[in-house]
Amino acid sequence: MQIQLSWVLDDKEEQDIVIQKKRNRPQKVGDESMGYSYEILANRSQYSGIEPTIVHVTPKSQNLRDEKTYTHSQDEFIYVLEGEIELLYNGTKQLLQVGDSAYFAGSKPHLFLPVGDQEAKVLTCFIDRV
């Protein structure tokens, strides 16, 4: 017998599968002039350690953001779907093209930089550290 206790915490029952149809997902969130926008691909469970997202990296001509890096507590996996980016990671730049991937500690300073004047799309997954 399986007991569902999640209702005590958030009035929602934990689900084994959550389908997110593209037509029901918000298109893009964020400010493209600041360097990126993104699509959250799944309404994940609060108990899951994965958060899949597509990041749209704004072309250089539309990007007003400086090279301020970000940090966060999760590890991050990225996979370049379209275009190319420079991954600025802990002071070093790596050129990543379609099909390239990287897995890194989000606690180190990092940033996706546009290459040329083409938008890039990057699949990212944030993974809670165990």
Length of the chain: 130
- pTM of the entire structure? 0.77
Return the pLDDT at 2: 42
Return the pLDDT at 106: 94
Report, as ranges of residue numbers, the positions in the chain whose pLDDT lies below 50.
1-10
Which residue segments constitute the domains of the chain, with CATH numbers given?
Answer: 24-127 (2.60.120.10)
pLDDT per residue as tens digits for the range 42-58: 765 565 667 788 999 98
The CA-based angle 73-48-15, given to 5 degrees, is 160
Closest to 102 (Cα-Cα) out of 130, 122, 121: 122
